[in-house]
Amino acid sequence: MEKNDWRISPGAPGDETAWDEAAEANLIARLKETGNYIRRRTNIVPDAAIILGSGLGGLAESSVEDIVFNYNELPNFTASTVSGHAGMLMIGRLAEKNVAVMQGRLHYYEGYDMEQVIYPVRLLKSLGAKTLIITSACGAVNPKLRLHDIVILKDHMNFMGANPLRGRHYGEFGERFPDMSEVYSRGLRSGALKAARKLRCRAYEGVYAAVSGPTYETPAEIRAYRKLGCDLIGMSVVPEAVAARQMGMNVLGICYIANTAGRAGAKKAILHQDVLKVGAAVSEKIGKIIASVIANIL
């Protein structure tokens, strides 16, 4: 197989069953190839997986030690092209539990299709992870939110214009029509909020609006999302969370407010380097929240 070649050969014309079977076999084979590459270099089976968003890469380097894989070296894996996403998979120990940590993610706005965006989540599940902790930098929609605030996701709305499960159904990953009435685990949310209170962090529960990006939102868009009941907005999280829930994983979403400049009357433009600075400032607190959740709940 060519690296990153996502083309799938169909069966005979009009034979939809052959097409589906070929597609599923192709994808499963890719996942096995990537997983086997990893397993040849480590015996650790992760209890949980963590995806680190913009500016949070340093969190893993200070807490997880065992083996590191560059995304570029993993068969069938795709590298992130965004500053602040190192593109490393780390497997080791955190809070006395086995974990796999992704330093950086793939985004829909980078030009990847949804199948590529959720491939890492499917890989993490195939490696053994039953819990997925997703972190992300976000913009504030709710006016009470300020820079550096931490938001534990209780729900989301998908405005990306695409669903990660659209297209062929792979029975290997779960139901064709998976229930999404509780995407983000109530127990994990409670544990994260409790940890945040102990750290005296400004932390809230909130509803996440997912947009495709890469442009930041206009003031009119922010007003519209606020009226719809959203508290914060970002360009990731939802594809990963949906894919994880389809596979039966427990999901926790932890976001930090990296900008409020989409609000009407803002005097400063949003710059990506400023987002990374906020991430660096909150990474220690988010790391402690994640460690507490892993230690006390998993």
Active-site residue, from 88, 100, 102, 107:
107
Q: Which of 24, 148, 190, 272 is catalytic?
A: 272
Q: For this structure, is 169 an active site residue? A: no
Active-site hit among 76, 98, 110, 114: 110
* 110 annotated active-site: yes
Instruction: Identify the active-site residue in 48, 49, 54, 258.
Output: 54
Residue tagged active-site, from 85, 136, 140, 170: 85
Residue 259 bears catalytic tag? yes
Tell me, yes or no, if 292 is annotated catalytic.
Answer: no
Instruction: Tokens for 97, please give them.
Output: 């539990």
Which residue in the list 48, 49, 88, 137 is annotated as catalytic? 137
148 is catalytic: no
Of the candidates 114, 129, 209, 235, the residue annotated as catalytic is 235
Choose, from 98, 259, 283, 292, the residue flagged as catalytic. Answer: 259
Q: Does 4 qualify as catalytic in the annotation?
A: no
* Active site (annotated) includes residue 283: no
85 is catalytic: yes
Active site residues: 54, 85, 107, 109-110, 137, 235-236, 259, 272
